[in-house]
């Protein structure tokens, strides 16, 4: 049984659709460098957005680390927008560019609850080459300037057209 057709407004994001898994490395001046496992799902329901869900865990213990969820949509040709929320109390609103299979995003708003860690800037780059998704996240937080924080490589494990 097939799901709904991908909405034409987000057809350019179709290369992201599916389930991805793999791992990455995190670093920041205020923490020890660490490795993690990760699963990401990009899906759609036929509306003009692509949903995004992510979770990570420690390696090798598989202790939950982080998760976030949100939506990608297109503001126009080559102009993606991302809205996402994290259970740590941080929300991000990004705008960016889409060129070939590379999504480059920069936060135009980083909001947080009164008890969330201070995050002032975030940049994300997603690149898909066949069935490999690589990414880099840069962050400015807790008094530190914008710098590399996360990078990972995920492999497509399945195509998921609906939610």
Model confidence over 32-90: pLDDT tens digits? 999 999 999 999 999 999 999 999 999 999 999 999 999 999 999 999 999 999 999 99
| All domains in the chain, ordered by first residue | 8-153 (2.40.128.20)
Confidence label for 163 from pLDDT (cuts 50, 70 and 90): very low
Tell me the mean pLDDT in the region 103-118. Answer: 98
Q: Is the pLDDT of residue 161 over 90?
A: no
d(CA 35, CA 83): 26
Beta bridge partners of 54: 40, 68
Looking at residue 158, its pLDDT comes to 80
Our measurement of the distance from residue 43's CA atom to the centroid of its chain's CA atoms, rounded to an integer in Å, reads: 13
Cβ neighbours of 11 (radius 10 Å): 11
Average pLDDT along the chain? 95
pLDDT band at 3 (very low <50, low <70, confident <90, very high): confident
pLDDT at residue 1 greater than cutoff 90? no
Rounded average pLDDT over 140-156:
98
């Amino acid at each position: 049984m097939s799901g709904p057709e991908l909405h034409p407004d987000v057809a350019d994001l179709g290369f992201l659709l599916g389930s991805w898994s793999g791992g990455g490395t995190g670093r920041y001046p205020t923490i020890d460098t660490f490795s993690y496992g990760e699963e990401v799902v990009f899906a759609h329901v036929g509306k003009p957005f692509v949903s995004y869900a992510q979770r990570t865990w420690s390696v090798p213990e598989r202790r939950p680390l982080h998760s976030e969820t949100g939506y990608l949509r297109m503001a126009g040709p080559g102009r993606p927008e991302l809205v996402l929320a994290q259970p740590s109390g941080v929300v991000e609103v990004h705008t960016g560019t889409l060129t070939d299979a590379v999504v480059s995003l920069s936060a135009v708003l980083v909001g947080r609850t009164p008890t969330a860690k201070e995050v002032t800037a975030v940049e994300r780059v997603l690149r898909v080459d066949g069935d490999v998704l690589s990414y880099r996240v840069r962050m400015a937080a807790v008094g530190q300037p914008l710098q590399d924080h996360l990078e990972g490589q995920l492999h497509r494990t399945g195509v998921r057209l609906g939610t």
